[in-house]
Each structure stands twice: as C-alpha cells, then as structure tokens.
A and B are shown apart, each in its own frame.
Chain A
Amino acid sequence: MPNKKIVLHFSKNLVKEPIVYKLIKEYNLSFNILKAKILPDEEGIMVMELSGDEKDYKKGIEYLKRSGVSTQPLSKDIGRDEDKCIHCGACVVMCPTQALSVDRKTMKVIFESEKCIACELCIEPCPTKAMRLHF
C-alpha cells in the first residue's frame, strides 16, 4: 500500500483517549505525524501519513470511525479567492493551525497555505465564500 495522508478530527471528549496508540498497536500501521494540534479544551486535529497493509489500513480507518474520530484524506487543497476576500477576519478564529492570521499593522488577513491542513473549518464561516476547496 502506498503511504496515505489523512486528517483526523477529534472531538473534545476524545482528545485524551489513546486512539492513535491503539491504531498502531492493534492494526499494524506505522505512521508519521505531519501536524498535530490539540487544544486543551477544544477539538484536536492531526495530519498523519500511514503505511502498512491495505487491509489493516481499512480496518484502522473503521476503528477510528467507531471511536468517533472523523477522518478525511489529505488530497484536498484549500485556496482563497483573493477577489472575494474582504479581509474581515471571521475565518481567523476558526483556523486551528494559524494558517489564517491578521497582520495587526494593516489589519489584513494573511493566508499561508503551507500551514493549512485542509480541515475546512474556515469555509462555512467565511461570509463571502472566499475560502474554497479545490479537489
């Protein structure tokens, strides 16, 4: 199986569970954490690269779903339509990785795509629909 990159979303109550540990131990998958962000009392987000047997991978993903962790392949790309963005800032507080931030001098909103983990949390709250998903 080729290495697969996935994004895991943990809800608040799951953040303290040893889910990833089990995934490796019981499903024979090796992994590489690319990005992880678990805020103490909010949701956790982790981007990892998994490798192992295809069957184990499927079972592992099913296990994650059963545990209440939602997963999403990292094949998507988030972009900002510069003509649409009005630099309000509504998206900034949604972003778990600081890919969106405010330049406090100009009060313009900066988008750094290399920090983006395609969690999509900014898409809905953007009033002008400037944050967009490209497949």
Chain B
Amino acid sequence: MSKTIKEINEKIKKGAAVVVTAEEMIDIVKASGRKKAAERVDVVTTGTFAPMCSSGVFLNFGHTKPKIKMQKVWLNEIEACAGLAAVDVYLGATQMPWNDPLNEVHPGKFTYGGGHLIEDLVAGKSVRLKAVSYGTDCYPRKEAEASIRLSDINEAVMCNPRNVYQNYNCAVNLSGKTLYTYMGTLKPELGNANYCSAGQLSPLLNDPEYRTIGMGTRIFLGGARGYVVWNGTQHSPCAPRNSKGVPEVPAGTLMVMGDLKEMTQYWVRGASMAGYGATLILGIGIPIPVLDESIAENCGVSDADISCPIVDYSDDYPNATGKVLGSVSYSELKKGSIEIRGKTVPTASLSSYSRALEIANLLKEWITRGEFLIGEPQRPTPGTDSGIKFKSLKTK
C-alpha cells in the first residue's frame, strides 16, 4: 500500500490525518508491524534542539539618506559579511565582536557572539548598527550609524548552510588536561563523554535515505515555518551505514531557510562554548509523510538501533587521524554512563532531548489542526547512490 503527499495533504486539510511523533511511532511499529503502521499513520514528526554553528541570517537594512554602499558593517560590534549589494549583509552565528578577548586568556568565555545577536533580534531588542564605506557617485555616504530592531528592517532571512546533522560523534578526552571544544568541556582522562543528537527523534535518522526530505520540504524552524532549500554543506550520504540503512557516523546534512521575523526566542538561543566560541542553539522539526511500509519502518527506529563513533578530541579529532575508539548506541548514552577502555564514563548531551520532543509534539499539533501541510520535495537530497565523496583540504 502506498500514499502520495497530495493524498496526505487532503487528509490534513480535512483534519483527518493521523499524526504521531517519532517517539510514539517506535511502539506502533513494534506492536503492529510496518504494514499496519503504514496504513494507520500518515505523518511522523521529528525534532532537534541543539547548537548549530553553521547558521546565520541575511539582513537588508533599507537605504539611508543620502545613500551608502556599506563596505564594512558591525552590529553590536560584531562584523557581518557585507560583500553583497549596498545594504545587504550576512551575519554568522559564530562571529565575535572585534574587541572580544577571544581565547587570549584560555579558556575564553565567548559571552556574546553572532548567535546571541540573532537571539536579541528575535527577542525584539534594539541593536547598534555601524557601517563604513569608500563613497561612490551613486552612494556618496561614507559612514552610517543607527539603532535597529527586527521590525525596522526590510528583510531578515535565516539561511543556514549546514544544520540537522544526521548522527554525530560522541566526544571524549584521553589526554591529561581539560579540553574546551565545540562539543563542550571535556574533562581529562575520559572524565566525560559528550554527545549531540536527538537520536530516535532526530529528523534525518528517521528518514535515513532522504526519501521524503528534499528542497521544498516544509519544516519547523526556530518556532516558525521554514523550508529545506538544498542539501547541507559537507553532506556525506555515502558514509557507512548499518543493516537498517542508518548511518553509523555523521552523514547527511540540510540547508534550511526561514523568516527570522516569524521566529521566537524560545527556539532561537545564543550559546557560549567556553574556550571555543559562540554559536546558535536552534529548534528544527521535520514531518515525514508515511508514503509506504519501508518509510513506516524507518520511522520506527529507536535509540537502541542508532550508534555513533566515540572520538578522542585531544588527538584524533584535531589531527584528523580518522581513528575512533569504538561505537556506542544512543540508548546506552542516554542511561548516563558508558564503558570505555574499562572505565565508567559519565555521559552528557549537548542536544536537548526534552526540547526536541516538544518540537515533535508542536509540529504534530499544527498538522493535526490542519495548519501545516507537507511540502513536496522539488529536488531530491543526494542519497547513497550519489557517489559523493567527503573531501578534505590539502595544504601546501
């Protein structure tokens, strides 16, 4: 039996669609099997709420009088990339103020960066804009300053080149000193093991071969409706997979886009990773239309079926040796401690499972009420047969 997205959308419009979260789907598939699950369930909702460094926003400020072709732009002293037309910039989540001490006194605090600025904008706070230029006949002005709020400017579009990682590393530290990484603070000699995935709720782990997720898929993004606009950067679909097709290492990624003006602060949070930098913690949820039995089965994936590599961040990660210390399932990680080399190591997550579940439930509500339709992908996300090879940069 198979359904089309169109048929499912008709049901959603009538308020007749059966929508469940990816967590609820586990038991449904277990209890009634993939065939019945596919007949019964129309949509499965997923969610993730975690630091996503490769995020940022396009802003258009509107023109000043007289006009300026902004060549360098700072917002609350944080530089935005202004190498676009006159009053367009791209503000990245990890950018720091020009006068921040960074890691001069290690570990740096990274109290306020691009992610925090994006949160402030979403919260409706006023931010200070400074711009300089060289002056042209059509854009004579050389300097401009203003206080702006999100509601004052023309456009603010979040466009994140790489989000929603399909699986991720579990980071540990084999060395004798504390490490400060984007995976959090890692205590010496296997003091802790940090992971970062919503596991069984994670969008791309529920549709491991991207059968329903592609450019045009409508998603929950930062509390608003957004879209998948491309595969993400470093998209690596040909990574090793288990017998169920679930990647065993970081694999697929998505590029997503949405209107910042519609987002809410609860789902868009600036974050500081001590000794590493600033970033953005962002909520994303993707609905998966259950078109057939195999999609139903995929959505029944549970933490016990998903494993990730344990990687040493004192040597193997920074030096790109490609070595892993072993692998561990998310159900083991979620118990609170794992065994590595005979040692019991406490685990911590950077991704918030409880918030991911909130997203999946919200999305379920929206769809059940007929307020959110499934987007028909216009370009499939490159899959396991794409032959994509993950490249590294050769230096000379």
Which residues of A pack against B, CB within 8 Å?
A: 41-42, 86-94, 102, 104, 106-108, 124-125, 127-129
Majority secondary structure of chain A interface residues (helix, strand, loop or mixed): loop
Nearest 4 A/B pairs, CB to CB: A93-B192, A127-B271, A107-B353, A125-B185
- Contact across chains for A87 and B355 when beta carbons are under 8 A apart: yes
Chain B's interface size range is 35 or more
- Which residues of B (346-395) have their CB < 8 Å from a CB of A? 346-355, 357
Chain A residues whose C-beta falls within 8 Å of the C-beta of B187 in the assembled complex: 42, 93-94
Bound Cα distance from A127 to B273, whole angstroms: 5
- Contact across chains for A90 and B353 when beta carbons are under 8 A apart: no
- Contact across chains for B51 and A93 when beta carbons are under 8 A apart: no
- Contact across chains for A128 and B271 when beta carbons are under 8 A apart: yes
- Contact across chains for A124 and B192 when beta carbons are under 8 A apart: no
Chain A residues whose C-beta falls within 8 Å of the C-beta of B274 in the assembled complex: 124-125
Q: Supply 12 A–B pairs (Cβ within 8 Å), ascending by A.
A: A42-B187, A86-B281, A88-B350, A90-B184, A90-B185, A93-B191, A93-B347, A127-B51, A127-B184, A127-B272, A128-B272, A129-B272
Shortest CB distance A119–B (Å): 14
- Contact across chains for A104 and B355 when beta carbons are under 8 A apart: no
Bound Cα distance from A4 to B334, whole angstroms: 40
Interface residue? B336 (CB, 8 A): yes
Interface residue? B210 (CB, 8 A): no
Shortest CB distance B281–A (Å): 6
Q: Which of A42, A106, A125, A128 contacts B354 (CB 8 A)?
A: A106
Interface residue? B107 (CB, 8 A): yes
On whether A107 and B354 interact (CB within 8 A), knowing A90-B184, A92-B348, A124-B107, the answer reads yes
- Which residues of B (260-280) have their CB < 8 Å from a CB of A? 269-274, 279
Shortest CB distance A37–B (Å): 14
Most buried by A among B107, B271, B281: B271
Q: Write the chain A residue with the least CB distance to B184.
A: A90
- Contact across chains for A94 and B355 when beta carbons are under 8 A apart: no
Q: Write the chain A residue with the least CB distance to B346.
A: A93
Bound Cα distance from A26 to B123, whole angstroms: 58
On whether A104 and B348 interact (CB within 8 A), knowing A93-B191, A125-B185, A129-B272, the answer reads no
Shortest CB distance B145–A (Å): 29
Chain B residues whose C-beta falls within 8 Å of the C-beta of A129 in the assembled complex: 111, 272
- Contact across chains for B346 and A128 when beta carbons are under 8 A apart: no
Interface residue? B49 (CB, 8 A): yes
Bound Cα distance from A3 to B232, whole angstroms: 60
- Contact across chains for A88 and B273 when beta carbons are under 8 A apart: no
Interface residue? B341 (CB, 8 A): no
